[in-house]
Structure 1
């Protein structure tokens, strides 16, 4: 997660031979998953999480590469913070402590050794209710398991709390210093007719060999041609970060992201 202020401003750095992304036709029919099978189902009836996957757990509480971002530290799981489960809903809490430091939570389905759920192609979806308030920055995103030469990143949802009726989706390729690959970044902003924090919504992305299509409540909102670097195994992450270059002085303390489920499907 990076260069957020530039992306938010709408800067498109299409350095892989041109930018062919475009808004999807929202009059298309709702996503039909007939012919797909569910490959990952996290209903959050309970939470199997550890700091780093030792012992092996379904989720870890950090990025596998130990890369924090934003203005809140992602903490190891502890009693009732930053993760709680109630009635099949995960709550991720961001809280400013007595020491003035903000702390929050992140979940990733792959550990530093590459163990855990990942998948090449298919549909990935989370049902979430974002927090209200300036400075909140929740996200649902995918990252490639193999980061040897570059990091493919697909941001299904990024929400900036100061714009309550808009969210962003983004595509990235982050080359390593030794790589000959050029970076690629593009972003799309989806405006809706309601305050997103008022209710749960579905945020999803379909990746296949031809296209990567983003969905809001299972209606397409944006599509890009699938680059070669996305034709790999990716894994989901969900988190509540703060900031992204935006002030957090007015951020509600505490703030909560609610997640009903995280799921993935693959074509039969």
Structure 2
């Protein structure tokens, strides 16, 4: 995904292999001893989607842009700008990102990024990042909540990508999470990923809203589902810049889209980011 994307056939093979091998519940690298304690954090970026502030490619006074900052859009649906008939709408404080076919039969959908190609926008190096979403049903859907490295496009130093969730609609009881370290040279790039299977009794990811989060510290990167830790990785030394959130509904990723529902809708209740602030714990959580 994103910058750059693996070949579709390779992505499909890797995912199918992981799904076949993944145990039910948290992976062996799950951080069961890292319960989330937001008392030690303060709000830093609180997008409630009461209104949408989005520009095409340069933020200016907007909060989001509708493309990746590096102009590296991906998938089998073209990401388009906000417009009256565009992919974004808000109802009762819920963002709807809609993928649909246009009059010519071409798929169109939406992406939001909180930083642009100049390096402007929101970013935080260490903190807790979370989105509350309800995923769309149907094969070929590919929604994601993820973090990119906030920097101008002229900066060619290594970058970090944290995929909090990538969901593939043909497999509605699991999702993928990943950590990428991107280098200009192919031989230095590193990727680790996991597939989280969802126990049947916990309900489908499609039936209700769930929270997908990641906590980034100088030592570890911990991934959460409904604020319960499911995976942990050591923080790579290349993480030396702020991270910014992105959320999107893409299609494909190497999987067919001939049976993808038209339209398909990703529902996003909020995107929240919290900054470390242990000194403020007593004021936020008296008695804890």
Structure 1 partner of 2:148: 143
Task: Work out the CA distance in 2 between the residues paired with 1:59 and 1:188.
Answer: 29
Does 1:203 find its partner at 2:212?
Answer: yes
Q: Match for 1:84 among 89, 94, 97?
A: 89
Deviates more, 1:70-79 or 1:49-58: 49-58
Q: Match for 2:251 among 242, 245, 251?
A: 242
SS at match of 2:206: helix
Cα drift, residue 6 of structure 1: 4.8
Q: Is the contact between residue 22 and residue 223 of structure 1 (CA under 8 Å) also seen in structure 2?
A: no
Deviates more, 1:48-57 or 1:157-166: 48-57
Deviates more, 1:138-147 or 1:212-221: 138-147
**TM-score for the superposition, normalised by structure 2:** 0.85
Task: Work out the CA distance in 2 between the residues paired with 1:173 and 1:10.
Answer: 22
Cα drift, residue 43 of structure 1: 0.1
Provide, for residues 218-260 of structure 1, a one-character-per-residue CA deviation record: whole Å limited to 9, x for no partner.
0000000000112421100000000000000000000000000
Q: Match for 2:191 among 174, 178, 185?
A: 185
Cα drift, residue 151 of structure 1: 2.7
Q: 1:54 to 1:231 in 2, by over 3 A?
A: closer
Provide, for residues 96-148 of structure 1, a one-character-per-residue CA deviation record: whole Å limited to 9, x for no partner.
12212100000000011111100111100000001000000000000112352
What value does the CA root-mean-square deviation take over the aligned residues? 1.7
Does 1:40 find its partner at 2:48?
Answer: no
Q: Is the contact between residue 7 and residue 186 of structure 1 (CA under 8 Å) also seen in structure 2?
A: no
Q: 1:7 to 1:144 in 2, by over 3 A?
A: farther
Decide which structure has greater helix share.
2
Aligned residues: 256
**TM-score for the superposition, normalised by structure 1:** 0.91
Structure 2 partner of 1:171: 179
Does 1:162 find its partner at 2:170?
Answer: yes
Provide, for residues 183-214 of structure 1, a one-character-per-residue CA deviation record: whole Å limited to 9, x for no partner.
10011111112211111000000010110000
Q: Match for 2:238 among 217, 222, 229?
A: 229
Structure 2 partner of 1:73: 78
Structure 2 partner of 1:212: 221
Stretches (4+) displaced over 3 A = none
Provide, for residues 75-103 of structure 1, a one-character-per-residue CA deviation record: whole Å limited to 9, x for no partner.
01111420001100000000012212100
Q: Is the contact between residue 59 and residue 121 of structure 2 (CA under 8 Å) also seen in structure 1?
A: no
* Alignment gaps of 5+ in structure 1: 12-20
The correspondence of residues 97-112 of structure 1 with structure 2, limited to 5 A, is 97-112=102-117
Task: Work out the CA distance in 2 between the residues paired with 1:32 and 1:66.
Answer: 36
